[in-house]
Structure 1
Amino acid sequence: MMFIRTESFRTFLRLYPIISVIIAIHIFLWLLLLVPIPLTSFLLQQMVGFNYLIAEGEYWRLLTPIFVHGGFGHMLFNSFSLLIFGPALERMLGKFKFICVYLFAGIIANLATFYIEPLDFAHVGSSGAIFGLFGIYLYMVILRKDLINQMNSQLIMTILVIGLVMTFINTNVNIVAHLFGFVAGAIAAPLVLPKSSGHDMITIRRSIPTRPRLQIPKEFSIKHILWILLIILVIIGVFM
Protein backbone atom coordinates (compact mmCIF):
# COMPACT_ATOMS: atom_id res chain seq x y z
CA MET A 1 0.00 0.00 0.00
CA MET A 2 1.48 3.32 -1.10
CA PHE A 3 0.27 5.18 2.01
CA ILE A 4 2.08 3.01 4.57
CA ARG A 5 5.41 4.46 5.66
CA THR A 6 8.16 2.02 6.61
CA GLU A 7 11.16 4.38 6.39
CA SER A 8 13.21 5.44 9.38
CA PHE A 9 13.03 9.11 10.39
CA ARG A 10 16.38 9.86 8.75
CA THR A 11 15.43 8.04 5.55
CA PHE A 12 12.10 9.87 5.42
CA LEU A 13 13.89 13.24 5.65
CA ARG A 14 16.21 12.23 2.82
CA LEU A 15 13.52 10.83 0.50
CA TYR A 16 10.83 13.45 1.12
CA PRO A 17 12.55 16.77 1.91
CA ILE A 18 9.65 18.98 0.76
CA ILE A 19 7.09 17.27 2.97
CA SER A 20 9.57 17.27 5.86
CA VAL A 21 10.10 21.03 5.53
CA ILE A 22 6.36 21.76 5.26
CA ILE A 23 5.58 19.73 8.37
CA ALA A 24 8.45 21.43 10.21
CA ILE A 25 6.93 24.81 9.30
CA HIS A 26 3.54 23.63 10.59
CA ILE A 27 5.07 22.64 13.93
CA PHE A 28 7.19 25.80 14.21
CA LEU A 29 4.23 28.11 13.60
CA TRP A 30 2.09 26.17 16.06
CA LEU A 31 4.82 26.53 18.68
CA LEU A 32 4.75 30.28 18.09
CA LEU A 33 1.11 30.23 19.18
CA LEU A 34 2.30 29.08 22.59
CA VAL A 35 4.73 31.98 23.03
CA PRO A 36 2.95 34.88 24.81
CA ILE A 37 4.94 37.59 23.04
CA PRO A 38 3.20 40.42 21.13
CA LEU A 39 5.61 40.05 18.20
CA THR A 40 4.75 36.38 17.58
CA SER A 41 1.04 37.14 17.88
CA PHE A 42 1.42 39.95 15.34
CA LEU A 43 3.34 37.75 12.92
CA LEU A 44 0.72 34.98 13.06
CA GLN A 45 -2.08 37.49 12.57
CA GLN A 46 -0.33 38.56 9.36
CA MET A 47 -0.66 35.01 8.06
CA VAL A 48 -4.41 34.58 8.49
CA GLY A 49 -6.47 34.53 5.30
CA PHE A 50 -8.72 37.47 6.20
CA ASN A 51 -10.76 38.41 3.12
CA TYR A 52 -11.19 42.07 4.05
CA LEU A 53 -7.43 42.62 4.35
CA ILE A 54 -6.81 40.71 1.11
CA ALA A 55 -9.21 43.10 -0.58
CA GLU A 56 -7.16 45.94 0.93
CA GLY A 57 -4.07 44.68 -0.90
CA GLU A 58 -2.47 42.21 1.56
CA TYR A 59 -2.15 39.53 -1.13
CA TRP A 60 0.40 37.45 0.76
CA ARG A 61 -2.59 36.20 2.76
CA LEU A 62 -3.49 34.03 -0.24
CA LEU A 63 -0.33 31.99 0.44
CA THR A 64 0.43 32.15 4.17
CA PRO A 65 -2.75 30.42 5.46
CA ILE A 66 -1.49 27.20 3.84
CA PHE A 67 1.12 26.87 6.59
CA VAL A 68 -0.59 28.14 9.74
CA HIS A 69 -3.30 26.36 11.76
CA GLY A 70 -5.85 27.27 14.38
CA GLY A 71 -4.69 24.87 17.09
CA PHE A 72 -2.81 21.70 17.92
CA GLY A 73 -5.47 19.29 16.63
CA HIS A 74 -5.85 21.19 13.38
CA MET A 75 -2.09 21.22 12.84
CA LEU A 76 -1.64 17.59 13.88
CA PHE A 77 -4.23 16.05 11.58
CA ASN A 78 -3.26 18.16 8.57
CA SER A 79 0.41 17.33 9.10
CA PHE A 80 -0.32 13.62 9.44
CA SER A 81 -2.48 13.67 6.32
CA LEU A 82 0.41 15.27 4.43
CA LEU A 83 2.81 12.69 5.88
CA ILE A 84 0.55 9.85 4.74
CA PHE A 85 -0.70 11.04 1.36
CA GLY A 86 2.19 13.25 0.23
CA PRO A 87 5.29 10.99 -0.01
CA ALA A 88 4.07 8.89 -2.94
CA LEU A 89 3.44 12.04 -4.96
CA GLU A 90 6.67 13.77 -3.98
CA ARG A 91 8.56 10.68 -5.14
CA MET A 92 6.52 10.37 -8.32
CA LEU A 93 6.47 14.05 -9.32
CA GLY A 94 9.85 15.14 -8.01
CA LYS A 95 10.50 17.90 -5.47
CA PHE A 96 9.94 20.90 -7.76
CA LYS A 97 6.67 19.75 -9.34
CA PHE A 98 5.34 18.58 -6.00
CA ILE A 99 5.83 21.90 -4.20
CA CYS A 100 4.48 23.79 -7.23
CA VAL A 101 1.25 21.80 -7.42
CA TYR A 102 0.85 21.84 -3.62
CA LEU A 103 1.12 25.63 -3.47
CA PHE A 104 -0.95 26.03 -6.64
CA ALA A 105 -3.85 24.06 -5.14
CA GLY A 106 -3.60 25.95 -1.86
CA ILE A 107 -3.54 29.36 -3.53
CA ILE A 108 -6.45 28.50 -5.83
CA ALA A 109 -8.40 27.32 -2.78
CA ASN A 110 -7.68 30.60 -1.00
CA LEU A 111 -8.52 32.68 -4.09
CA ALA A 112 -11.85 30.92 -4.39
CA THR A 113 -12.46 31.54 -0.69
CA PHE A 114 -11.72 35.23 -1.22
CA TYR A 115 -14.12 35.62 -4.13
CA ILE A 116 -16.95 33.44 -2.83
CA GLU A 117 -16.96 33.98 0.93
CA PRO A 118 -17.89 37.36 2.53
CA LEU A 119 -15.30 40.01 3.39
CA ASP A 120 -15.44 39.22 7.11
CA PHE A 121 -14.47 35.58 6.48
CA ALA A 122 -11.11 34.45 7.94
CA HIS A 123 -9.43 31.08 7.54
CA VAL A 124 -6.22 29.14 8.13
CA GLY A 125 -5.01 25.65 7.32
CA SER A 126 -3.49 23.50 4.60
CA SER A 127 -6.66 21.56 3.76
CA GLY A 128 -7.05 23.21 0.33
CA ALA A 129 -3.52 22.20 -0.67
CA ILE A 130 -4.00 18.68 0.71
CA PHE A 131 -7.24 18.30 -1.23
CA GLY A 132 -5.18 19.24 -4.29
CA LEU A 133 -3.20 16.05 -3.70
CA PHE A 134 -6.46 14.11 -3.58
CA GLY A 135 -7.38 15.70 -6.92
CA ILE A 136 -4.18 14.32 -8.43
CA TYR A 137 -4.92 10.88 -7.01
CA LEU A 138 -8.44 10.90 -8.47
CA TYR A 139 -7.02 11.83 -11.88
CA MET A 140 -4.68 8.85 -11.59
CA VAL A 141 -7.54 6.53 -10.59
CA ILE A 142 -9.63 7.57 -13.60
CA LEU A 143 -7.13 8.38 -16.37
CA ARG A 144 -3.69 7.10 -15.31
CA LYS A 145 -4.28 3.58 -14.06
CA ASP A 146 -0.69 2.74 -15.01
CA LEU A 147 0.47 4.77 -12.00
CA ILE A 148 -1.74 3.31 -9.25
CA ASN A 149 -2.89 -0.20 -8.42
CA GLN A 150 -6.43 -1.35 -7.68
CA MET A 151 -6.09 -1.52 -3.89
CA ASN A 152 -4.82 2.04 -3.65
CA SER A 153 -7.47 3.20 -6.12
CA GLN A 154 -10.21 1.77 -3.93
CA LEU A 155 -8.70 3.42 -0.84
CA ILE A 156 -8.53 6.79 -2.60
CA MET A 157 -12.18 6.56 -3.66
CA THR A 158 -13.19 5.66 -0.10
CA ILE A 159 -11.26 8.65 1.27
CA LEU A 160 -12.84 10.99 -1.26
CA VAL A 161 -16.36 9.81 -0.45
CA ILE A 162 -15.70 10.30 3.28
CA GLY A 163 -14.15 13.69 2.59
CA LEU A 164 -17.08 14.84 0.48
CA VAL A 165 -19.64 13.77 3.07
CA MET A 166 -17.74 15.27 6.03
CA THR A 167 -17.04 18.49 4.15
CA PHE A 168 -20.74 19.20 3.78
CA ILE A 169 -22.01 18.01 7.16
CA ASN A 170 -19.47 19.86 9.31
CA THR A 171 -20.00 23.55 9.96
CA ASN A 172 -16.38 24.37 10.85
CA VAL A 173 -15.00 23.44 7.42
CA ASN A 174 -14.01 25.75 4.56
CA ILE A 175 -16.09 23.96 1.92
CA VAL A 176 -14.96 26.32 -0.85
CA ALA A 177 -11.25 25.66 -0.14
CA HIS A 178 -11.75 21.89 -0.10
CA LEU A 179 -13.64 21.83 -3.39
CA PHE A 180 -11.48 24.28 -5.32
CA GLY A 181 -8.23 22.83 -3.97
CA PHE A 182 -9.41 19.43 -5.16
CA VAL A 183 -10.33 20.76 -8.61
CA ALA A 184 -7.00 22.62 -8.88
CA GLY A 185 -5.09 19.41 -8.17
CA ALA A 186 -7.08 17.46 -10.75
CA ILE A 187 -6.49 20.18 -13.38
CA ALA A 188 -2.75 20.27 -12.66
CA ALA A 189 -2.39 16.47 -12.64
CA PRO A 190 -1.87 15.92 -16.41
CA LEU A 191 0.77 18.66 -16.40
CA VAL A 192 2.88 17.24 -13.57
CA LEU A 193 2.43 13.46 -13.69
CA PRO A 194 5.06 11.37 -15.50
CA LYS A 195 4.24 10.97 -19.17
CA SER A 196 3.13 7.59 -20.39
CA SER A 197 5.52 5.97 -22.84
CA GLY A 198 2.66 4.30 -24.71
CA HIS A 199 3.89 0.84 -23.72
CA ASP A 200 2.67 -1.53 -21.05
CA MET A 201 3.13 -0.94 -17.32
CA ILE A 202 6.32 -3.02 -17.19
CA THR A 203 7.94 -0.75 -19.78
CA ILE A 204 6.80 2.33 -17.89
CA ARG A 205 8.23 1.07 -14.63
CA ARG A 206 11.55 0.25 -16.28
CA SER A 207 11.78 3.63 -17.99
CA ILE A 208 11.26 5.47 -14.67
CA PRO A 209 13.34 3.42 -12.22
CA THR A 210 13.52 6.11 -9.52
CA ARG A 211 9.76 6.77 -9.51
CA PRO A 212 8.18 3.31 -9.61
CA ARG A 213 4.54 2.33 -9.46
CA LEU A 214 4.15 1.43 -5.79
CA GLN A 215 2.99 -2.09 -5.04
CA ILE A 216 0.97 -3.81 -2.31
CA PRO A 217 3.21 -5.48 0.31
CA LYS A 218 3.13 -9.27 0.08
CA GLU A 219 2.39 -9.64 3.78
CA PHE A 220 1.18 -7.29 6.47
CA SER A 221 3.22 -6.85 9.63
CA ILE A 222 2.17 -5.20 12.89
CA LYS A 223 3.65 -1.99 11.52
CA HIS A 224 1.38 -2.15 8.48
CA ILE A 225 -1.68 -2.70 10.67
CA LEU A 226 -0.74 0.25 12.89
CA TRP A 227 -0.32 2.46 9.83
CA ILE A 228 -3.73 1.43 8.51
CA LEU A 229 -5.27 2.36 11.88
CA LEU A 230 -3.41 5.68 11.78
CA ILE A 231 -4.69 6.38 8.27
CA ILE A 232 -8.25 5.76 9.45
CA LEU A 233 -7.81 8.08 12.45
CA VAL A 234 -6.25 10.80 10.28
CA ILE A 235 -9.07 10.57 7.73
CA ILE A 236 -11.62 10.96 10.52
CA GLY A 237 -9.67 13.81 12.14
CA VAL A 238 -9.04 15.79 8.96
CA PHE A 239 -12.69 15.87 7.98
CA MET A 240 -14.16 16.50 11.44
Structure 2
Amino acid sequence: MFLRTENVQTFVRLYPTVSSIIVTHVICWTFFSIETTFANFLLEKLIGINVYIRMGEYWRLFTPLFLHLHFGHMMINSLSLILFGPALEKMLGTCKFIIVYIWSGTFANVATLFFLPPLYSHLGASSAIFGLFGVYIYLIIIHKNIIDRRHAQIIITSLCIGIVMTVTNPNINTIAHTFGFLGGATIAPFIASRRNPYAI
Protein backbone atom coordinates (compact mmCIF):
# COMPACT_ATOMS: atom_id res chain seq x y z
CA MET A 1 0.00 0.00 0.00
CA PHE A 2 2.71 2.47 1.01
CA LEU A 3 5.76 0.71 -0.43
CA ARG A 4 6.53 2.23 -3.81
CA THR A 5 8.06 -0.19 -6.31
CA GLU A 6 6.99 1.52 -9.56
CA ASN A 7 9.40 3.34 -11.83
CA VAL A 8 8.67 7.00 -12.54
CA GLN A 9 6.80 6.33 -15.78
CA THR A 10 4.54 3.74 -14.18
CA PHE A 11 3.92 5.91 -11.12
CA VAL A 12 2.81 8.83 -13.29
CA ARG A 13 0.51 6.58 -15.34
CA LEU A 14 -1.10 4.97 -12.28
CA TYR A 15 -1.36 8.09 -10.13
CA PRO A 16 -1.75 11.11 -12.42
CA THR A 17 -3.24 13.42 -9.79
CA VAL A 18 -0.57 12.81 -7.17
CA SER A 19 2.09 13.12 -9.88
CA SER A 20 0.64 16.42 -11.13
CA ILE A 21 0.56 17.92 -7.65
CA ILE A 22 4.19 16.92 -7.00
CA VAL A 23 5.31 18.35 -10.35
CA THR A 24 3.47 21.58 -9.49
CA HIS A 25 5.31 21.69 -6.14
CA VAL A 26 8.68 21.35 -7.86
CA ILE A 27 7.92 23.85 -10.62
CA CYS A 28 6.58 26.46 -8.20
CA TRP A 29 9.49 26.06 -5.78
CA THR A 30 12.05 26.24 -8.60
CA PHE A 31 10.45 29.33 -10.11
CA PHE A 32 10.11 31.25 -6.87
CA SER A 33 13.51 30.21 -5.52
CA ILE A 34 15.15 32.22 -8.31
CA GLU A 35 13.97 35.36 -6.49
CA THR A 36 13.65 37.63 -9.49
CA THR A 37 11.63 40.81 -9.12
CA PHE A 38 8.72 39.27 -10.99
CA ALA A 39 8.88 36.01 -9.01
CA ASN A 40 8.88 37.89 -5.70
CA PHE A 41 5.97 40.05 -6.85
CA LEU A 42 3.96 37.00 -7.97
CA LEU A 43 4.71 35.07 -4.78
CA GLU A 44 3.46 38.02 -2.75
CA LYS A 45 0.22 37.82 -4.71
CA LEU A 46 -0.24 34.07 -4.19
CA ILE A 47 0.68 33.29 -0.59
CA GLY A 48 -2.01 33.32 2.06
CA ILE A 49 -2.12 36.63 3.93
CA ASN A 50 -5.19 36.99 6.10
CA VAL A 51 -5.65 40.72 5.76
CA TYR A 52 -5.65 40.54 1.96
CA ILE A 53 -8.08 37.62 1.97
CA ARG A 54 -10.44 39.71 4.09
CA MET A 55 -10.11 42.45 1.49
CA GLY A 56 -11.46 40.12 -1.18
CA GLU A 57 -8.39 38.31 -2.55
CA TYR A 58 -10.02 34.92 -2.04
CA TRP A 59 -7.69 33.04 -4.38
CA ARG A 60 -5.21 33.16 -1.49
CA LEU A 61 -7.29 30.46 0.20
CA PHE A 62 -6.33 28.08 -2.62
CA THR A 63 -2.97 29.04 -4.13
CA PRO A 64 -0.86 28.51 -0.97
CA LEU A 65 -1.49 24.75 -1.24
CA PHE A 66 1.10 24.50 -4.01
CA LEU A 67 3.74 26.87 -2.64
CA HIS A 68 6.64 26.16 -0.28
CA LEU A 69 9.14 28.45 1.34
CA HIS A 70 12.14 26.13 1.55
CA PHE A 71 13.40 23.12 -0.40
CA GLY A 72 13.12 20.91 2.70
CA HIS A 73 9.53 22.02 3.23
CA MET A 74 8.66 21.15 -0.34
CA MET A 75 10.45 17.79 -0.21
CA ILE A 76 8.81 16.64 3.02
CA ASN A 77 5.33 17.42 1.71
CA SER A 78 6.05 15.88 -1.69
CA LEU A 79 7.47 12.70 -0.15
CA SER A 80 4.47 12.45 2.17
CA LEU A 81 2.24 12.74 -0.88
CA ILE A 82 4.23 10.05 -2.70
CA LEU A 83 3.82 7.70 0.26
CA PHE A 84 0.22 8.31 1.25
CA GLY A 85 -1.43 9.78 -1.84
CA PRO A 86 -1.38 6.88 -4.35
CA ALA A 87 -3.49 4.41 -2.36
CA LEU A 88 -6.15 7.03 -1.71
CA GLU A 89 -6.16 8.20 -5.34
CA LYS A 90 -6.65 4.57 -6.39
CA MET A 91 -9.47 4.06 -3.88
CA LEU A 92 -11.33 7.31 -4.50
CA GLY A 93 -10.59 8.00 -8.14
CA THR A 94 -9.22 11.19 -9.63
CA CYS A 95 -12.17 13.53 -9.11
CA LYS A 96 -12.86 12.56 -5.50
CA PHE A 97 -9.18 12.68 -4.61
CA ILE A 98 -8.93 16.22 -5.98
CA ILE A 99 -12.05 17.22 -4.05
CA VAL A 100 -10.59 15.88 -0.80
CA TYR A 101 -7.23 17.54 -1.38
CA ILE A 102 -8.56 20.97 -2.32
CA TRP A 103 -11.37 20.95 0.24
CA SER A 104 -9.05 19.98 3.11
CA GLY A 105 -6.46 22.61 2.27
CA THR A 106 -9.00 25.35 1.65
CA PHE A 107 -10.94 24.46 4.81
CA ALA A 108 -7.69 24.77 6.76
CA ASN A 109 -6.91 28.15 5.20
CA VAL A 110 -10.39 29.43 6.04
CA ALA A 111 -9.80 28.36 9.66
CA THR A 112 -6.45 30.16 9.57
CA LEU A 113 -8.26 33.26 8.37
CA PHE A 114 -10.67 33.21 11.31
CA PHE A 115 -8.38 32.07 14.12
CA LEU A 116 -5.05 33.76 13.39
CA PRO A 117 -4.08 37.46 13.23
CA PRO A 118 -4.77 39.65 10.16
CA LEU A 119 -1.09 39.90 9.22
CA TYR A 120 -0.50 36.16 9.48
CA SER A 121 0.89 34.64 6.26
CA HIS A 122 0.97 30.97 5.30
CA LEU A 123 1.81 28.57 2.49
CA GLY A 124 2.38 24.84 2.03
CA ALA A 125 0.58 21.59 1.22
CA SER A 126 0.68 20.17 4.76
CA SER A 127 -2.95 20.97 5.53
CA ALA A 128 -4.16 19.13 2.41
CA ILE A 129 -1.98 16.14 3.27
CA PHE A 130 -3.43 16.07 6.77
CA GLY A 131 -6.80 15.97 5.01
CA LEU A 132 -5.76 12.68 3.39
CA PHE A 133 -5.09 11.31 6.85
CA GLY A 134 -8.55 12.47 7.87
CA VAL A 135 -10.04 10.26 5.15
CA TYR A 136 -7.81 7.34 6.12
CA ILE A 137 -8.86 7.55 9.77
CA TYR A 138 -12.51 7.67 8.74
CA LEU A 139 -12.02 4.51 6.68
CA ILE A 140 -10.16 2.77 9.51
CA ILE A 141 -12.94 3.52 11.99
CA ILE A 142 -16.05 3.16 9.83
CA HIS A 143 -15.09 0.79 6.99
CA LYS A 144 -12.69 -1.66 8.61
CA ASN A 145 -12.73 -3.98 5.59
CA ILE A 146 -11.02 -1.46 3.32
CA ILE A 147 -7.70 -1.05 5.14
CA ASP A 148 -6.07 -4.02 6.85
CA ARG A 149 -4.71 -3.84 10.38
CA ARG A 150 -1.03 -3.59 9.42
CA HIS A 151 -1.58 -0.63 7.12
CA ALA A 152 -3.94 0.97 9.62
CA GLN A 153 -1.14 0.89 12.19
CA ILE A 154 1.23 2.58 9.73
CA ILE A 155 -1.32 5.34 9.09
CA ILE A 156 -2.03 5.92 12.78
CA THR A 157 1.68 5.93 13.66
CA SER A 158 2.48 8.37 10.85
CA LEU A 159 -0.37 10.63 11.93
CA CYS A 160 0.88 10.60 15.51
CA ILE A 161 4.36 11.56 14.33
CA GLY A 162 2.84 14.40 12.30
CA ILE A 163 0.89 15.61 15.34
CA VAL A 164 4.00 15.58 17.53
CA MET A 165 5.95 17.54 14.90
CA THR A 166 3.06 20.00 14.63
CA VAL A 167 2.80 20.80 18.34
CA THR A 168 6.55 20.89 18.99
CA ASN A 169 7.56 23.13 16.08
CA PRO A 170 6.66 26.80 16.69
CA ASN A 171 6.91 27.61 12.97
CA ILE A 172 4.13 25.21 11.97
CA ASN A 173 0.56 26.39 11.46
CA THR A 174 -1.19 24.20 14.04
CA ILE A 175 -4.60 25.53 13.07
CA ALA A 176 -4.09 24.56 9.42
CA HIS A 177 -2.93 21.04 10.24
CA THR A 178 -5.83 20.49 12.64
CA PHE A 179 -8.51 21.79 10.33
CA GLY A 180 -6.95 20.11 7.31
CA PHE A 181 -7.38 16.80 9.11
CA LEU A 182 -10.92 17.72 10.13
CA GLY A 183 -11.70 18.78 6.57
CA GLY A 184 -10.70 15.36 5.26
CA ALA A 185 -12.56 13.54 8.03
CA THR A 186 -15.78 15.52 7.54
CA ILE A 187 -15.92 15.12 3.78
CA ALA A 188 -14.96 11.43 3.88
CA PRO A 189 -18.52 10.15 4.51
CA PHE A 190 -19.64 11.80 1.27
CA ILE A 191 -16.83 10.58 -0.99
CA ALA A 192 -15.64 7.26 0.48
CA SER A 193 -17.74 4.46 -0.98
CA ARG A 194 -18.81 1.59 1.22
CA ARG A 195 -18.41 -0.73 -1.73
CA ASN A 196 -14.91 0.32 -2.59
CA PRO A 197 -13.32 -2.34 -4.83
CA TYR A 198 -9.80 -1.53 -3.67
CA ALA A 199 -9.76 -3.06 -0.19
CA ILE A 200 -6.19 -3.00 1.07
Same fold (TM over 0.5): yes
Which residue does 2:40 correspond to in 1? 41
1:167 corresponds in structure 2 to 166
Residues 1-240 of structure 1 aligned to structure 2 (within 5 Å): 2-196=1-195, 208=197, 212-214=198-200
SS at 2:60's partner residue? Answer: helix
Instruction: List per-residue Cα deviations over 1:46-79 (Å, max 9, x = no partner).
Output: 1110001111111000000000001100001101
C-alpha distance in structure 2 between counterparts of 1:3 and 1:11, whole Å: 15
- The SS at the match of 1:195 is coil
Q: Secondary structure, in 3 states, of the residue corresponding to 1:146?
A: coil
Instruction: Give the aligned CA root-mean-square deviation in angstroms.
Output: 1.1
Q: Which runs of 5+ in 2 are unaligned?
A: none
Q: Which has the larger radius of gyration?
A: 1
Whole-angstrom CA distance in 2 between matches of 1:63 and 1:175: 18
Unaligned 5+ segments in structure 1 are 197-203, 215-240
- Provide the residue aligned with 1:199 in structure 2: none
After superposition, what is the alpha-carbon deviation per residue over 1:70-90, rounded to whole angstroms, capped at 9, x for unaligned? 110000110110111000000
Amino acid at match of 1:213: A
Looking at structure 1, the residues matched to 34 and 49 of structure 2 have their Cα atoms a distance apart, in angstroms, of 22
Q: CA deviation at 1:190?
A: 1.4
TM-score by length of 1: 0.81
Indicate the residue corresponding to 1:227 in structure 2.
none
Q: Say whether the 8 Å CA contact 2:143–2:194 is kept in structure 1.
A: no
SS of 2:131's equivalent in the other structure is helix
The alignment's TM-score, normalised by the length of structure 2, stands at: 0.97
